[in-house]
């Protein structure tokens, strides 16, 4: 005899089994953690990018109190990818010191780190997933002309004093440099603003910093002019810079990585901030149409972003070359937004650089 209680129990068991099966199915294709970050960002209505705001060109705060620079532009691009456009409210630069990076990454409070970040095996394993390299630097040296140090001659650093940031990998690279060249020097460690002040006051003869930061560093000195210093063209070791997301969410990692590909592919295909709308509507190129999402998708639905996500991104920040030009060019230098440097390895592979990303197809 069937009674309602039994029917109910069977129905319940069936539901639970079905739910477990569905969950198992989902687990099979979506590993644990998949999609949590995007959900969090959408709920918060804001993407949090960790950066240090004391490096003109890479990331600083302008006279209007707005975050500017290469890092913040990437943050805006991410916001445009997630929310359709970047407004004042849907992206935020969380200012951190370089020494705070491991703790910030391990706490998982930050969505993406756009700080000038050297990619090493150790950090990949301990901090989070790095996406593609956006800048190829090395450990750069700035030496004062009074010190008697000969630029690009590592031996002349022997017996002198250097300054660098506390809690950076430069502290280890300095030790490596000493053993490689058989020299010893004194090394004073400060927070990043302290390095500038101490060098300015003559506490040290040279500064170790990312070779990309050397140009803006000498411009921020207040008690001397850039001509009083030598910026070395030799660099020590490899110092590849890349954006970084917390471990454990493949969807978020893919999304952040795709934004980087879109920026580089857009430059390759000649899609710029000015012509993107026009290209979207009129370009006969299939590659352009695919990139901009007018024809077919490469997985936007799975990343839960708009098909024309590339249009939103390029409209917001331009392509990779435009971002570089904005901060590393003669115009940027004139405007006080950065400084001029040759576009070297971060040029497109078509022009002899190393920027070579897969197609958005």
Partner 1 sequence: MPAPVQGDLRSRVETHSSVPLWRNIYVLRAVTQIAAALLIVGLIGFLLNNLFVNAEKRGVDLGFGFLSLRASIKISNAAIPYSPDNSYFYAFLVGVVHTLRATLLGIVLATILGVLVGVARLSHNWLVQKIFAVYIGAIRNVPLIVSCYFFYFGLVLRMPITKEAVHLPGPIFLSNRGVYTIWGEPTASFGTWLLIVLAAVIAGYFVRRALRNRETRTGMPSYPNLAALALLAVGGVAGWLALAGGGEPPLLPSIPVLKGTNFRGGMRMTPEYFALVACLTVYIATYIGEIVRGAIQSIPRGQLEAARAVGLSEIHVLRYIVIPQALRIIVPPTIGQYINLTKGSSLAIVVGYADIYVVTRNIIEQSGSSAPMFLLIIATYLLIAAVYSLIGNLYNRSVQIVER
| Closest separation in Å from C-beta 217 to partner 1 | 17
Can residue 266 be called a binding residue for partner 1 (CB under 8 A)?
no
What gap in Å lies between CA 217 and CA 268, rounded to an integer? 31
| Nearest to partner 1 of 156, 272 (CB atom) | 156
Can residue 169 be called a binding residue for partner 1 (CB under 8 A)?
yes
| Nearest to partner 1 of 221, 306 (CB atom) | 221
Give the count of beta carbons closer than 10 Å to the beta carbon of residue 28: 8
In the list 191, 250, 254, 307, the residue contacting partner 1 (rule: CB under 8 A) is: 191
Query: Do 221 and 204 touch, CB atoms closer than 8 A?
Result: no
| Closest separation in Å from C-beta 198 to partner 1 | 7
What gap in Å lies between CA 131 and CA 256, rounded to an integer? 7
Can residue 209 be called a binding residue for partner 1 (CB under 8 A)?
no
Tell which positions 70-129 bind partner 1, by CB under 8 A.
99, 101-103, 106, 108, 122-123, 125-127
Helix (H) or strand (E) holding 354: none
Tell which positions 130-149 bind partner 1, by CB under 8 A.
146-148
Q: Which stretch binds partner 1 (CB under 8 A): 13-21, 162-170, 286-294, 340-348?
A: 162-170
Can residue 205 be called a binding residue for partner 1 (CB under 8 A)?
yes
Query: Do 314 and 273 touch, CB atoms closer than 8 A?
Result: yes
| Nearest to partner 1 of 124, 307 (CB atom) | 124
What gap in Å lies between CA 73 and CA 42, rounded to an integer? 20
Can residue 161 be called a binding residue for partner 1 (CB under 8 A)?
yes
DSSP secondary structure of 137-191: EEEEEEEEGGGTPPTT-GGGGTT-EEEEETTSTHHHHHHHHHHHHT---EEEEE-
Q: Both tokens of residue 47?
A: 């993407």
Can residue 36 be called a binding residue for partner 1 (CB under 8 A)?
no
Query: Do 99 and 168 touch, CB atoms closer than 8 A?
Result: yes
Question: Which residue ranges make up the site for partner 1 (CB under 8 A)?
Answer: 99, 101-103, 106, 108, 122-123, 125-127, 146-148, 159-161, 163, 166-169, 171-172, 174-176, 178-179, 186-191, 194, 197-198, 201-203, 205, 246-248
């Amino acid at each position: 005899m069937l009674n309602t209680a039994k029917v109910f129990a069977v129905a319940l068991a069936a539901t639970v089994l079905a739910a477990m099966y569905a969950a198992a199915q989902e687990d099979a294709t979506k590993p644990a953690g998949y999609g949590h970050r995007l959900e969090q960002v959408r709920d918060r209505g804001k993407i949090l990018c960790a950066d240090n705001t004391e490096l003109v060109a890479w990331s600083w705060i302008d006279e209007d109190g707005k975050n500017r620079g290469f890092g913040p532009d990437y943050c805006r691009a991410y916001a445009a990818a997630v929310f359709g456009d970047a407004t004042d409210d849907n992206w935020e630069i969380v200012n951190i010191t370089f020494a705070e990076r491991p703790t910030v990454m391990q706490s998982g409070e930050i969505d993406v780190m756009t700080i000038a970040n050297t990619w090493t095996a150790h950090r990949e394993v301990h901090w989070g997933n790095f996406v593609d390299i956006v800048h190829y630097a090395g450990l750069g040296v700035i030496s004062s002309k009074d010190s008697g140090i000969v630029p690009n001659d590592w031996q002349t650093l022997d017996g002198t004093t250097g300054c660098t940031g506390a809690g950076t990998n430069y502290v280890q690279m300095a030790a490596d440099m000493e053993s490689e060249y058989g020299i010893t020097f004194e090394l004073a460690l400060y927070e990043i603003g302290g390095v500038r002040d101490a060098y300015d006051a003559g506490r040290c003869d040279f500064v170790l910093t990312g070779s990309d930061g050397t140009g803006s560093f000498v411009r921020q000195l207040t008690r001397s002019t850039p001509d009083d210093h030598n910026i070395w063209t030799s660099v020590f070791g490899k110092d590849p810079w890349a954006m970084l997301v917390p471990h454990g969410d493949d969807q978020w990692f893919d999304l952040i990585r795709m934004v980087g590909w879109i920026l580089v592919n857009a430059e390759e295909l000649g899609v710029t901030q000015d012509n993107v709308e026009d290209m979207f509507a009129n370009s006969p190129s299939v590659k352009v149409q695919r990139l901009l999402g007018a024809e077919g998708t490469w997985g936007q639905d799975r990343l839960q972003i708009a098909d024309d996500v590339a249009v939103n991104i390029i409209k917001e920040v331009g392509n990779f070359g435009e971002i570089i030009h904005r901060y590393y060019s003669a115009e940027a230098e004139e405007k006080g937004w950065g400084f001029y440097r040759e576009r070297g390895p971060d040029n497109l592979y078509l022009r002899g650089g190393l920027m070579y990303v897969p197609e958005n197809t």
